[in-house]
Amino acid sequence: MTSAESSPPSDSQSDEAEALRKLSVPDIEDIIGYKLRLAQLLVFQDFLETFSELRLRPAEFSVLVLIARSPGLKQTEVAERLGIKRANFVALMDGLERRGLAERRKSANDKRSHSLHLTPEGHRFAERMLAIWKTHEQRFVDRLGGREARDKLIELLDRLLDTEHKSTSSR
């Protein structure tokens, strides 16, 4: 099972430990990006498990949410808002269309573009989806310690995402 040595192996350990002191290497747990990645992976993992029976992935969920709130958006608009390359959006939308959840409608004024909409079935699906999503989201609000903590997290993440980085105090 576990090897008999509970203390770490001591090759040239002391030399390296000495070198470490000069380096002041950060604890990986204190690194913002590392922790953000762990948290994101955890939430997405929970999402995948929560939505396994609906066979819904995060990207598909976000597309359905967006066209439910803003029906009629052009395909490229939806893709750009979600940070999906329009080339990659095609297969995703094909899947939603094949499942009868969403549809492309040819625009009359611009025959190049498609406007996106939920189908009636997609609307019923969205109801189930959002009910399930609430349990998923609430799970993490609870872990955070309630709505205030959740709001604080969103606020801090928004600060990270704020494109107005005033490098100096000017502007």
Residue numbers of the site for DNA (CB under 7 A)? 1, 57-59, 74-77, 84-90, 93-94, 104, 109-114
Report what 98 binds from a second copy, DNA, none; CB cut-off 5-8 Å by kind: none
Q: Is 1 in the site for a second copy (CB under 8 A)?
A: no
Q: Is 31 in the site for a second copy (CB under 8 A)?
A: yes
Residue 52, CA distances (Å) to 39, 42, 43, 47, 58 in order: 20, 15, 14, 8, 11
Residue written as tokens 């395909």? 75
Q: Is 58 in the site for a second copy (CB under 8 A)?
A: yes
Q: Is 28 in the site for a second copy (CB under 8 A)?
A: yes
Rounded to an integer, what distance in angstroms lies between the CA atom of residue 61 and that of residue 130?
Answer: 9
Angle separating helix axes 120-144 and 58-69, nearest 10 degrees: 110
Report what 170 binds from DNA, a second copy, none; CB cut-off 5-8 Å by kind: none
Rounded to an integer, what distance in angstroms lies between the CA atom of residue 74 and that of residue 61?
Answer: 17
Residues 117-146, interacting with a second copy (CB under 8 A):
117-118, 123, 126-127, 130, 133, 137, 139-145
